[in-house]
Each structure stands twice: as C-alpha cells, then as structure tokens.
C-alpha cells in the first residue's frame, strides 16, 4: 500500500489529502501539523474549516485510510510520498521585506524530512513557492541525509475556497512538474497515477519543475488582474453613469475574454492573490525586470485603491463624517461560503471607517467575534503563520461590535456596507431594515448583491 504524508493540515493540506484518501482507497494518507490545535480540530466532530462538502468527505475516510496526527516524525519517515503544504508567508523583515516569500516553514519541513528519512522519497511542493524553490529544497535534502534519494515534484494547488471540494473533485487541470531525468520522470508518473484515480488523463499536465512553480504564480496573477481591470473600470463607470455590471457582461460575452472573474467588488481578498503577486513582483525585480515587476504591482495598487475608494465614498456620501455614526458591516469573510478572513477587504474597510471614528456593527454567518477582533488588531502579513506562533489576542476594539444577524447589525445604523456576497444578503427584508435605521439611510453595496432600484 502506498503511504502518503502531508506536512501542514491547513486549508490546502486538509481538504486535498481528504479527497485523495476518498478517491484512492488503496493509499494510506496521514496529515500532520506542528499545531496540536489544528490536528485536534481535524479529529473532532466540528471541523475548524468551513467548506461546503468537506465534512462529508472527511467523515467517509477518517479512521479508514485518512489519519490526522501530531506524530510528524513517524509518519514522514514511513511515507513514500511526502506533500508539503505549509505556510509561505510574505517576509516582514530583512531582504525582500513586504514582497518576497518567507520560506522558513518550508525549510524546516525539508530539514525534518531529511533528518527522519530512512527510505527513498518523493517530496511534493504543494505550497505556493517562488520559482526555483525546488533547487534549494533539493540541496537541503541531499546535503542532510545519507544515501537516500529524493525526487522533488512541484504540484501546485489551484482550489479556491468555498468551492474547494468541487475543485478537487473535478479540477480544470492538475499540474505536475519534475526533473527531466529518468528518476524524475518516474516520480512524475507515480504522482500522476494517484490523480488518475479520478482525474481524466488529458487534465493532468506534466512540465518541467520551473514551469510548474511559475504557472501557479502566473495563474493567480492573471486571475487577480481581471478583477483589478474590472474594478478600475468601475471607477470610470461611477464617474460617467455607465453600469459596471453591464459593461463587464458585454466585455465577457467576447469568447476571447470569457465571463468569469469579471465581478466588480470592493477589492479582492484571500490568502493568495496579494501574497503571490508580491512574490512575483519580487522575482521579476531580482531577475532585472523592473518593467514587468511594475506591471504586476499595478494589480495590487488598483486593489488598494478600490478599498480606499469605497471608504471615501461612504464617508463623503454621509456628509463627510461618520464620527460616532453606527455603520453596519454585512459580511467579513473574503468571499462567500468560507469563514476565512485572511486579507479580506473588510479589514481595510473597517480600519478606514474606524479611522473616521465610526462605530461598526458587524455580521457574518461564519466569522466569530474573536476572529474579527484579532483581524482588526493584527499587523499586515502576521496572519500567515501557524496559529500558535501568531500574536496573542489583543484587547478588543470597543467601537466594534458583532451582531447575531443582519437585522440586529443594521438596527439604528446610519449606513450599511455589504462586504461579502453571502446569498442570504440577497433575500433580506430591506424594508424592515430601512425602518429600523437612522434616516437618511445609506446602503453601500461592495458586492453588487442588492437591487438598487427596489
Ligand atoms: N488557501 C488556499 O486556498 C490555497 C490554495 C492554493 C495554494 N495555497 C498555498 O498553500 C500553502 C498552504 O496554505 P494554507 O491556506 O493551507 O495555509 P494554512 O495556514 O491554512 O496551513 C498551513 C499549515 O502548515 C502548518 N505548518 C507550518 N510549518 C509546518 C511544519 N514545518 N511542519 C508541519 N506543519 C507545519 C501550520 O501549522 C498550518 O496548520 C501556502 O503556500 C499557500 O499559498 C493556498
Ligand atoms: O469576479 C470576481 C472574482 C473574485 N473576486 C474576489 O477575489 C478574491 C479571491 O476569490 P477566489 O479566487 O474565488 O478565491 P481564492 O480561494 O482566493 O482562490 C484563488 O487563490 C487560490 C490560492 O492560490 C487559487 O488556488 C485559486 O485558483 C484562486 O482562484 C475574493 O475576495 C473574491 O471575492 C472578485 O472580487 N471578483
């Protein structure tokens, strides 16, 4: 029986390995983590990650051929294939601070693998890493082990949160990059065989290592670029009376452009887009390509502009002051169908409103009060570290309260900001909400979920 171990039981490691276990009953899958709390949560009845369909997949295989464990050394040492899906945060100090990927966690994972390995292994990069990381990993592994052969593969993950299970069940493509040697090709085939249990062969792409590593950064840059393009257009629409939804629809009807990822919004969030583009920008700079770096940097600048433009619009519409006014924030997660708040635009919007002395009352169906308070107090990029290494919970910001539902959040508010496109916000009783608000009452829809006419 093939044995697999995954270092990192997060948003990627947990769901990905659970789906592999489900689709490959002949493979033993163990997911390990340095955070005991994370492993406990995976072994409990209530998973820490809210992801439609995940619960069901985990319950079908946990205890059968899927195990969550803190015994990292044992399971890494026994595995034939080791996936590494650990944090790759943006560096906050030293060389490349604010842009480059911090590979501390990856490096310590590689050193651990080298230390405990007693047999040959395939090591799979699942985390998103800078191009040519595999070269560094190879050196660490080969210089720290005795006579053991390691094959490094790049197998970036393309799942999106909220649709992770669907994306894993039927991916647009699975990408596997490996060394162009006999052993490298054999390792690629071994991983291909795993995915071939459920992914059609023409969707499994194999490339060289550097193409696979770079394709992940490129894919996210292209996706985020579409959002910044439509968001830039939204500013022009607001200035000219055009409707951005109509413009996006008309543009997307061109089959060369396509309709997806053209929803104007308060800005993109999530743990990947900003981090990966900053990483790409840094790699371009290091390779002497400032023009290319500046091109991609602009995608982030427009995203920051969109978030601050939203705050300015709220304040200027409300007679240039929101001081002591109650503003209801509907939605805090970075998108619907997830409780994840990493880099959510809601953080910047709330901070902007707090800067203008607003009182904020927040409702999100999946985000806890503790998480919201932590997010509003945390420094940029600090969220991307293992839980037990993150700063301690700060004292709560007293101008921020968290409500149980949208109606409670909106009661006595002067304005409402819709920051996540949760389906339930489309069908709220806005007449009831209007009646409970201060007048004049304002709605700022950062996700185009309400019908402004009605
Ligand atoms: N979240 C996504 O949707 C997504 C999608 C594709 C790729 N990625 C990439 O995948 C990687 C992981 O992302 P994530 O969202 O799962 O992060 P996460 O923070 O949810 O999970 C990472 C886990 O790794 C653990 N960890 C850190 N160092 C470790 C070590 N040395 N040994 C064992 N465990 C260790 C942490 O405790 C944490 O639980 C990142 O590189 C990210 O950019 C994320
Ligand atoms: O038309 C759109 C589409 C998305 N968004 C926003 O963009 C952000 C990212 O959304 P999405 O890409 O759906 O979610 P992620 O989970 O961040 O997934 C992205 O990042 C992952 C991590 O690298 C990749 O694996 C996925 O392929 C890639 O879609 C969210 O804030 C969305 O609200 C928009 O504003 N407009």
Ligand positioned closest to the Cα atom of 343: 2
227 with 376, same domain: the answer is yes
d(CA 378, CA 17): 30
280 with 170, same domain: the answer is no
11 annotated ligand-binding residue? yes
Q: Please report, in tens digits, the pLDDT of each residue of the chain (454 residues total).
A: 899 999 999 999 999 999 999 999 999 999 999 999 999 999 999 898 899 999 999 999 999 999 999 999 999 999 999 999 999 999 999 999 999 999 999 999 999 999 999 999 999 999 999 999 999 999 999 998 888 999 999 999 999 999 999 999 999 999 999 999 999 999 999 999 999 999 999 999 999 999 999 999 999 999 999 999 999 999 999 999 999 999 999 999 999 999 999 999 999 999 999 999 999 999 999 999 999 999 999 999 999 999 999 999 999 999 999 999 999 999 999 999 999 999 999 999 999 999 999 999 999 999 999 999 999 998 888 888 887 777 666 678 899 999 999 999 999 999 999 999 999 999 999 999 999 999 999 999 999 999 888 7
How many folded domains does the chain comprise? 2
369 with 229, same domain: the answer is yes
Q: Count CB-CB contacts under 10 A for residue 200.
A: 11
Q: Is residue 453 domain-resident?
A: no
The owner of tokens 């201060």 is 438
208 with 260, same domain: the answer is no
226 with 206, same domain: the answer is no
164 with 223, same domain: the answer is no
207 with 249, same domain: the answer is no
| Res 393: pLDDT | 63
- Choosing from 61, 237, 272, 417, which is the catalytic residue? 272
Identify the CATH number of the domain in which residue 116 sits: 3.40.50.720
35 Cβ inside 6 Å of ligand 1: yes
Q: Compute, in angstroms, the gap from residue 268 CA to the centroid of ligand 2.
A: 7
- 66-80 burial, b if ≥16 CB within 10 A, otherwise e? bbbbbebeebbbebb
Q: Is residue 451 domain-resident?
A: no
286 with 420, same domain: the answer is yes
d(CA 171, CA 164): 10
Q: Which domain range does residue 77 map to?
A: 2-212
272 annotated ligand-binding residue? yes
* 221, 299 Cβ separation under 8 angstroms: yes
Q: Looking at ligand 1, which residue's alpha carbon is closest to its atom 4? A: 12
405 with 436, same domain: the answer is yes
Which residue, of 185, 212, 239, is where some domain finishes? 212
Angle at 384 between CA 383 and CA 387, to 5 degrees: 75
Nearest ligand 1 atom to the CA of 387 is 37
Does residue 272 carry a catalytic annotation? yes
| Res 357: pLDDT | 97
Which residue, of 180, 212, 244, is where some domain finishes? 212
């Amino acid at each position: 029986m093939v044995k697999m171990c995954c270092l990192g039981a997060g948003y990627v490691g947990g769901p990905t390995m659970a789906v592999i276990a489900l689709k490959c009953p002949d493979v033993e899958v163990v997911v390990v983590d340095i955070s005991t709390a994370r492993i406990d949560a995976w072994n409990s009845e209530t998973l820490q990650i809210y992801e439609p369909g995940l619960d069901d997949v985990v319950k079908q295989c946990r205890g059968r051929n899927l195990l969550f464990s803190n015994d990292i050394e044992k399971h890494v040492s026994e595995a034939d294939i080791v996936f590494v899906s650990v944090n790759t945060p943006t560096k906050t100090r030293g060389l490349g601070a604010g842009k480059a990927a911090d590979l501390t966690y990856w490096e310590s994972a590689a050193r651990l693998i080298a230390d405990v390995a007693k047999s040959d292994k395939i090591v799979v990069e699942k985390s998103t890493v800078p191009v040519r990381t595999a070269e560094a990993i190879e050196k660490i592994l080969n210089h720290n082990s005795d006579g053991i052969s390691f094959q490094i593969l790049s197998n970036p993950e393309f799942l999106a949160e909220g649709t992770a299970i669907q994306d894993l069940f039927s991916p647009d493509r699975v990408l596997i990059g490996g060394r162009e040697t006999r052993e490298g090709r054999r390792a690629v085939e071994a991983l291909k065989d795993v995915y071939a249990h459920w992914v059609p062969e023409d969707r499994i792409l194999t490339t060289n290592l550097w193409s696979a590593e770079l394709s992940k950064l490129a894919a996210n840059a292209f996706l985020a670029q579409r959002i910044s393009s439509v968001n830039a257009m939204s500013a022009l629409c607001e200035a000219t009376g055009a409707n951005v939804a109509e413009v996006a629809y008309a543009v997307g009807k061109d089959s060369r452009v396509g309709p997806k990822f053209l929803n104007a919004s308060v800005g993109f969030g999530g743990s990947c887009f900003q981090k990966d583009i900053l990483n790409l920008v840094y790699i371009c700079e290091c390779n002497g390509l400032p023009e290319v770096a500046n091109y991609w940097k602009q995608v982030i600048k427009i995203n920051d502009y969109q978030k601050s433009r939203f705050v300015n619009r709220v304040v200027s519409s409300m007679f240039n002051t929101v001081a002591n006014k109650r503003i209801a924030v509907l939605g805090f997660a970075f998108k619907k169908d997830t409780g994840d708040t990493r880099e959510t635009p809601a953080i910047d919007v709330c901070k902007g409103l707090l800067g203008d002395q607003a009182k904020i009352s927040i409702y999100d169906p999946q985000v806890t009060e503790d998480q919201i308070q932590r997010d509003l107090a945390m420094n940029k990029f600090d969220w991307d570290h293992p839980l037990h290494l993150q700063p301690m919970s700060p004292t709560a910001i007293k101008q921020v309260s968290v409500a149980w539902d949208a109606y409670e959040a909106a009661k006595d508010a002067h304005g409402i900001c819709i920051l996540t496109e949760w389906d339930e916000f489309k069908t709220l009783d806005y007449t009831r909400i209007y009646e409970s608000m201060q007048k004049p009452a304002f709605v700022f829809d950062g996700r185009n979920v309400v019908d402004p006419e009605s």
